[in-house]
């Protein structure tokens, strides 16, 4: 069974990585899919930040190959495989859904996030730190930011209460709260924090000169998650 799960991780990783090729032309949610069109939303990172997906795909493939080749029977590696398979399986069909339904895509991305966080939390004590923590950390960290961006777009796009800036503040706050709780519970997850900070810096850049409130909230978020990671590192040696 561990070998079958390791093989499944590799197959689902490949399916996930090739999904952009099979669903070309996706450049974010279509602004007109919302009752209130979301054109250049405040919560969304600057476009360059999405290049991290290239690194995430490569890292996940390396992780899957190494896991099947060298760690297929390792119980610590095997512990996180099922939630990762769920996350990657949903991720493999996420792009075509996102092109037609932001609501369904938002639900799906939280399933992806949940699977990624569980897999990462179970990987922290695993051998081969770079092959395990780097791919899963980058993947889960980016998904943490992306999931709550989707929430901000839905809230603002359907005209619920707060408006674009209000929803951006809510989404950034929830991102930092969830990330802080995860870091505090899980421990040393530097690549998770790196991906999250990458996203928050891109939010700052996207809002410089146009929405200083969001830029400041994102900057405060960076300080908080970095401080918590540093504290965890100090406490746990």
Structure token digits, residue 8? 């499944």
Domain encompassing residue 57: 1-22+46-235
Q: Is the pLDDT of residue 73 over 80?
A: yes
The dihedral built from the CA positions of residue 33, 39, 41 and 45, taken in this order, carries a sign that is positive
Give domain status of residue 59, yes or no.
yes
Give domain status of residue 142, yes or no.
yes
pLDDT in tens, 46-70: 999 999 999 999 999 999 999 999 9
Q: Which residue has the tokens 């004590």?
A: 125
- Cβ burial of 235 (10 Å; 0-12, 13-18, 19+) is exposed
Give domain status of residue 29, yes or no.
no
Q: Which residues make Cβ contacts (< 8 Å) with residue 67, sequence separation at least 6?
A: 6, 9, 10, 77, 81, 131
Give domain status of residue 221, yes or no.
yes
Give domain status of residue 36, yes or no.
no
The per-residue pLDDT for 27 is: 66
Give domain status of residue 33, yes or no.
no
The per-residue pLDDT for 236 is: 65
Give domain status of residue 214, yes or no.
yes
Give domain status of residue 226, yes or no.
yes
Q: Is the pLDDT of residue 217 over 90?
A: yes
| Total count of domains within the chain | 1
Instruction: Report DSSP letters for 90-115, one per residue.
Output: HHHTHHHHHTT-HHHHHHHHHHHHHH
| Mean per-residue pLDDT, 152-179 | 93
Q: Report the percentage of the chain scoring pLDDT > 70.
A: 98
Read off the pTM: 0.96
């Amino acid at each position: 069974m561990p070998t079958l799960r390791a093989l499944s991780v590799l197959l689902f990783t490949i399916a996930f990585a090739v999904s952009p090729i099979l669903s070309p032309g996706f450049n974010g949610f279509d602004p007109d899919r919302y009752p209130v069109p979301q054109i250049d939303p405040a919560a969304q990172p600057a476009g360059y930040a999405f290049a991290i997906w290239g690194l995430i795909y490569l890292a996940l493939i390396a992780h899957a190959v190494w896991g099947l080749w060298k760690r297929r029977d390792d119980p610590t590696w095997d512990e996180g495989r099922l939630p990762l398979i769920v996350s990657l399986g949903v991720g493999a069909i996420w792009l075509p859904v996102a092109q037609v339904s932001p609501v369904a895509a938002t639900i799906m991305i939280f399933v992806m996030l949940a699977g990624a966080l569980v897999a990462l939390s179970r990987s922290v004590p695993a051998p081969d730190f770079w092959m395990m923590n780097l791919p899963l950390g980058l993947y889960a960290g980016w998904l943490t930011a992306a999931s709550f961006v989707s929430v901000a777009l839905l809230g603002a796009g359907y005209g619920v209460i707060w408006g674009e800036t209000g929803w951006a503040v809510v989404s950034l706050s929830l991102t930092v709260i969830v990330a802080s709780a995860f870091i505090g519970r899980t421990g040393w997850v530097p690549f998770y924090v790196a991906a999250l900070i990458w996203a928050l810096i891109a939010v700052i850049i996207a809002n410089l000169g146009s929405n200083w409130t969001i830029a400041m909230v994102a900057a405060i978020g960076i300080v908080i998650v970095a401080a918590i990671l540093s504290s965890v590192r100090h406490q746990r040696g």
